[in-house]
Chains A and B, each alone.
Chain A
């Protein structure tokens, strides 16, 4: 029996086989690695988004939104950074225009505190409005949800005054302070008395009448949950009046430019959130009309002409919040308080009982589907959207 002789050709064949085997093993490894689910998809920066030709380019005016702690300006479908994230745990959030549209108040949130800043609309000329940082952890303060009064003379916001009776009772109250030069937080006025250990009162919207709409958190004995209601208080220190029922758990109120409609997010204490609007007569809300349901909708903001609302909601399971537009039907002259069977929810409280039936009742315009304006971005859903003509 003769042993096979090793020839150059045979050696090359064995070598080739060995290479193919090694490649095959590596390929199997890489194939599996490439078939991992993209669970944590990287979001693009808004400046990388190609949006110029989309419906976003037709949004009128200027919007400000926050992604990754950076404040972005959106004009004609193009994003540009206005205030870059300070770094570390610090972020910019919750921008709001001054009534004349020439300045912005923005929250700078740091590791243990947050402060309000005034900027021009290009993010320059900063003025620090509050001084909430302290070296002692529990002596720091939060300031969130800034909003200017319609005449621009007062700045409203939520602030956590310390409870001398219980250091664990950290709750936000609505405060206001003058916006005149030289004014300081020492002149601030407390507007609301929050319910202890609930998170408190947030998201103030000052009204031309001098009152304030805000979100109040209370403990609901029926559901054993802390739920939210939209409240109205006529003056500082006065007991507020609930505009929505506690079981609806509504928050994030946004008043239309004409002051006659209130947009809000309602969760019912559940996971999904609906975007709703209701007629506001200055003291009570009419039945709510559900505009968007089945999404984690957040932060409604009215267009300057009141014809639509932008809001934030995730894009599929990826979880990044995108900008959406919901056209809003024009308000019916008298029948906006008349419920329609399929899209209204009539649990608002304090609604006046009509003395006469509203006639005639116009058929409400059918709702159009919300339009997704961005994709692949990752907007901060706890930050408000500022929109000015």
Chain B
């Protein structure tokens, strides 16, 4: 009778924990462990890069962010933001490189176009296009939608950062608060140290009309908010995961297999060990790495591969 009681007690406790983590498990199977790429790794990809990074070897992650409002068909979005991140657990060094969204490149699916537009063929097409053009191997990727980013930042209690200059925009998309995806509003993010909630952090990273560097300036701001989020994420523990998953809902996909809790824990641990700003290198592909041109009537950013590829070789292999 006593044994039955004890077994029942343990089982019920586990059942309670299982119920608590059920949203995480469901999300882990639905939104994580997505296919890595539709095409094989490029011939000249970094030699020896492991297909599934272990705890100690360096690996590369492609972060993608999209407008996912009703301008687009469900699931067919452009990538407004693409950031390559190289993480070296051994040296605890992180390199972040923003890819201009208007970069004119050959697509993995055939043809040429802006790199943000290839995402209409899926996450894997974007990953493969980055791999082929930048001549690297992307180990994992993650995609987040606008609302997901806002919810995540709010769940983290907002972010603290020093905004660089007044970000003023009279034609900022008001698509999150209007049924008209082409409506716009005015934003003014004032400069200096401050606390930003999700919606204002999004304004800071999304606005580009009033920036002398346009998308390049926006890329710098995106990296800045990403680092501020990482600072907040140091406090996250396993019990926070259901809330985080609920905040993302359908706004997050990744090739990381989040059902592998051991690896997830080691990644969180690694993030907490990287605290010195000198351990994080931020790169934006401003001229002379890129130029500008008009192709088929569209303003595009043209890559200077003779400068970009050696940089990638140095920082991402």
Report A's interface with B, CB cutoff 8 A: 13, 17, 20-22, 24-30, 32-33, 35-37, 39-41, 111-114, 137-138, 140, 142, 144, 160, 167-172, 195-200, 202, 217, 219, 224-228, 249, 251-252, 265, 267, 269-273, 296-299, 312-314, 317-321, 378, 380-382
Contacts and interface: CB of A to CB of B under 8 A. Distances in A.
B249 to A, nearest CB: 18
B277 A27 contact: no
30 contacts: A20-B5, A20-B9, A24-B12, A25-B16, A28-B14, A36-B237, A36-B240, A40-B156, A40-B158, A111-B186, A137-B186, A140-B170, A142-B186, A168-B209, A168-B210, A170-B209, A195-B212, A202-B166, A217-B165, A226-B213, A249-B164, A267-B162, A271-B162, A296-B161, A296-B162, A297-B193, A314-B160, A317-B231, A319-B160, A319-B195
B112 interface: no
Contacts of B210: 168-171, 197, 199
Contacts of B190: 144, 382
B52 interface: no
A32 B20 contact: yes
Contacts of A249: 164
B220 interface: yes
Contacts of B11: 21
Nearest to B286: A224
For the complex of A and B, 5 pairs with smallest distance between CB atoms:
A199-B166, A28-B16, A40-B157, A296-B193, A25-B16
Contact of B160 (A32, A138, A168, A296): A296
Contacts of B19: 25, 29
A142 B192 contact: no
A39 B12 contact: no
Interface residues of B, number: 65
Most chain B CB neighbours (cut-off 10 Å) among A20, A29, A39, A273: A39
Given A25-B19, A167-B171, A319-B232, A226 B162 contact: no
Given A28-B20, A33-B239, A225 B164 contact: yes
A267 B168 CA distance: 20
A197 B155 CA distance: 33
Contacts of B220: 225
Contacts of B235: 37, 39, 317
B20 A29 contact: yes
Contacts, number: 203
Contacts of A298: 192-194
A27 B20 CA distance: 11
B164 A28 contact: no
Nearest to A200: B166
A140 B187 CA distance: 11
Contacts of B8: 17, 21
Most chain B CB neighbours (cut-off 10 Å) among A24, A112, A195, A251: A24
Classify the secondary structure of B's interface with A. Answer: mixed
B267 interface: no
Contacts of A114: 188
A129 B270 CA distance: 54
Interface of B: 1, 4-5, 8-9, 11-17, 19-21, 154-162, 164-171, 184-186, 188, 190-195, 209-213, 216-217, 220, 224, 227-228, 231-232, 234-237, 239-240, 243, 277, 284, 286
A299 B192 CA distance: 9
Contacts of B16: 24-30, 32
Contacts of A112: 185-186
A355 to B, nearest CB: 37
A137 B184 contact: yes
Contact of B20 (A24, A33, A40, A111): A33
Contact of B164 (A137, A269, A297): A269
Contacts of B14: 28
Most chain A CB neighbours (cut-off 10 Å) among B13, B234, B237: B13
A251 B191 contact: yes
Contact of B159 (A30, A228, A319): A319
A314 B210 CA distance: 29
A37 to B, nearest CB: 5
Nearest to B16: A28
Given A20-B5, A29-B19, A202-B166, 17 more contacts: A32-B16, A32-B239, A36-B239, A39-B235, A40-B158, A114-B188, A142-B188, A167-B171, A219-B212, A226-B217, A228-B191, A269-B164, A270-B277, A271-B228, A273-B192, A296-B193, A297-B193
A168 B171 contact: yes
Contact of B165 (A21, A40, A196, A199): A199
Contact of A36 (B15, B213, B243): B243
